[in-house]
Amino acid sequence: MKYIFLIFITLLILNCPGSLFPQRLKPEIPGPERIRTYDVEHIKINVSFDWENKKVIGEVETKIIPLSDNFSEFEVDAVAFDIQSIRDGKNQDLKYTYDNKKIKLILEKSYSQSDTIVYTVNYTCQPQSGLYFIYPTELNPSLPYQIWTQGEDSDNRYWIPVYDYPNDKTTFEIYVTVDKKFSTLSNGYLDYSRKIFDTDKRQDHWVMDKPNQLT
């Protein structure tokens, strides 16, 4: 039997009409809109996958700009992560607290609206939502092996650390490492696809250079 191997990394714009994947209707959440304290400028995502444990192994670098002066701490959405490290743009450890839902980063000094802040989170997670591992089953043995993402409207936080609310736009790029039997698909364009030397794996680099809303 021939299986189709696909990984869909469709991070940000799955709320568009005609999406490839089913959409889950969510109830309206009452209350005021989330107030941004920073602007997300760019996200660099580097991920691989542990199929047996349905786990994401990730390193995500994010660039942000404060929306006010005296900016010394901020929050990032991340649900049920095992965080190995969080480092700044100089590869120095950043202080943080984590309640299993949000990471609160404490900066070493105050920044202004003219500054760009870079931080990188190394982590693993077993997503409860947002990213799905699909396998053939006894009832449906022809089901293809797939990993696909559906972030609308606030489910990206289950597989990447991110400001996860649809009132910001950002560019992003994804380095995804997979077994060479898989094909990958993402928003944006494929910059390169390279076999990793002396392995049966390949890294694909997808780039979205037009700002998109995080939904």
Asked if pLDDT for residue 25 goes beyond 90, the answer is: no
Higher-confidence position of 146 and 3: 146
Query: In angstroms, rounded to a whole number, what is the distance separating the alpha carbons of residues 108 and 40?
Result: 20
pLDDT at 138 over 80: yes
**pLDDT at position 203:** 97
What is the per-residue pLDDT across 151-180, written as a single tens digit (0 to 9) for each? 877 899 999 999 999 899 999 999 999 999
Mean pLDDT of 94-117: 98
Residue 53 pLDDT > 90, yes or no? yes
**What percent of the chain is modeled with pLDDT above 70?**
84
Say what the pLDDT of residue 142 is.
Answer: 87
In this prediction, residue 18 has a pLDDT band, given cuts at 50, 70 and 90, of very low
Instruction: Say what the pLDDT of residue 17 is.
Output: 30
- What average pLDDT score do residues 45-67 get? 97
The pLDDT of 192-202, averaged and rounded, is 95
Taking the C-alpha atoms of residue 147 and residue 134, their distance in angstroms, rounded to an integer, is 6
121, 86 Cβ separation under 8 angstroms: yes
CA distance 27 to 90: 42
Q: 76 or 11: whose pLDDT is higher?
A: 76
Tokens of 90: 């100089």
- Does residue 29 carry a pLDDT above 80? no
Cβ atoms 125, 81 nearer than 8 A: yes
Q: For residue 20, with 0-12 CB atoms within 10 Å meaning exposed, 13-18 middle and 19 or more buried, which class applies? A: exposed
Whether 33 shows a pLDDT value over 70: the answer reads yes
Please check whether residue 148 is in contact with residue 10, taking contact to mean a CB–CB distance below 8 angstroms.
yes
Task: With a cut of 80, say whether residue 32 has pLDDT above it.
Answer: no
Q: Taking residues 78-91, what's their average pLDDT?
A: 97
Cβ proximity of 204 and 193 under 8 Å? yes
